[in-house]
Amino acid sequence: MLTKRIIPCLDVKNGRVVKGIHFQNLRDAGDPVETAKQYSKNGADELVFLDITATLEERKTTFEVVRKTAENVFIPLTVGGGIKTIADITALLNAGADKISINTAAVKTPRLVKESSSRFGSQCIVVAIDAKKTARNKWEVYINAGNTPTGIDAVKWARNVQQLGAGEILLTSIDADGTKAGYEIELTRAISTSVNIPVIASGGAGEPKHLYEVLSKGKADAALAASIFHYDEYPVHKVKSYLKSRGIPVRS
């Protein structure tokens, strides 16, 4: 049967992983390619690189990172961060990314989602949604790395991007992100049950139990996490065997 995916996320800046990675057996903990290899070895189902590089010039290093990763790691790779145009998408796919995650640009120019999905296929286009709670069962979409409110309802926006041709949604709860207190289950369930495309839950993972909750109660198709995997305490394979013991189908 189709398994739930466990996806480590790496913040990449100027060709290096930022936010400390602390694997004992890693030669260069700041090297995204080495880290990606380690995650793949540990049983990660996919990888996400979030490019947090500030300038266009520095972004060139990202292509190099994507290229080297695609040459060394044979699991799907999604790249997001600052993607604005069809040309950006083309360049990253050519470098070796399998999927491209679009966030702010999707809100500003929804046409980009439509054009890119019809050109490259829906399976290539992930729309990232950053949402913040405004009332009971109400969430608002934020853009510009969670800094700018848009007035758009997150559930409506999720339905809208599916209509536009997105193949997947990467959903981050701004309220839960960084808390390590667990994913926002209500938000994840509300979005996941409103669309027919897969939803990756993000924001709030602090321990394996949180992944269990979002994959069961939250009805997420995949769980993304960063810091939980960055230490040897919770390597991907341990998280997966925990999930398996609790009845979640995972690839072992």
Nearer to another protein, 55 or 74 (CB): 74
**Residue 136 CB contacts under 8 Å (≥ 6 apart), including other chains:** none
Q: Which stretch binds another protein (CB under 8 A): 50-58, 113-121, 131-139, 228-236?
A: 113-121
Residue whose entry in the numeric block shows the structure tokens 């189902």:
45
What ranges in 42-98 are assigned the alpha helix state H?
56-72, 86-95
Which residue in 11, 31, 98, 153 binds another protein (CB under 8 A)? Answer: 98
239 binds another protein (CB under 8 A): no
Query: With the CA atoms of 32, 38, 40 and 42 taken in that order, what torsion angle do they form, in degrees rounded to the nearest 10?
Result: -150
Which residue in 221, 238, 246, 248 binds another protein (CB under 8 A)? Answer: 221
Name the residue among 95, 94, 100 with its Cα closest to residue 112.
Answer: 100
Name the residue among 81, 60, 63, 164 with its Cα closest to residue 116.
Answer: 164
Which residue in 88, 140, 168, 184 binds another protein (CB under 8 A)? Answer: 168
121 binds another protein (CB under 8 A): yes
247 binds another protein (CB under 8 A): no
Which residue in 50, 91, 97, 170 binds another protein (CB under 8 A)? Answer: 97
96 binds another protein (CB under 8 A): yes
Q: Which residues pair with residue 69 across a beta bridge?
A: none
Q: How far is the CB of 213 from another protein (least distance, A)?
A: 19
Cα(135)–Cα(137) distance, integer angstroms: 6
Nearer to another protein, 170 or 174 (CB): 170
55 binds another protein (CB under 8 A): no
186 binds another protein (CB under 8 A): no
Q: At 176, which helix (H) or strand (E)? A: none
Which residue in 20, 84, 85, 94 binds another protein (CB under 8 A)? Answer: 94
Nearer to another protein, 96 or 203 (CB): 96
Residue 130 a catalytic site member: yes
Name the token pair of 178: 């960084």
Residue 232 a catalytic site member: no
Radius of gyration of the chain (CA): 17
Taking every pair of C-alpha atoms in the chain, what is the biggest distance, in angstroms? Answer: 47
CB 116 within 8 A of CB 124: yes
Catalytic residues: 11, 130
Site residues, another protein (CB under 8 A)? 1-5, 40, 45, 67, 70-71, 74-76, 93-98, 118-124, 167-168, 196-198, 221-222, 251
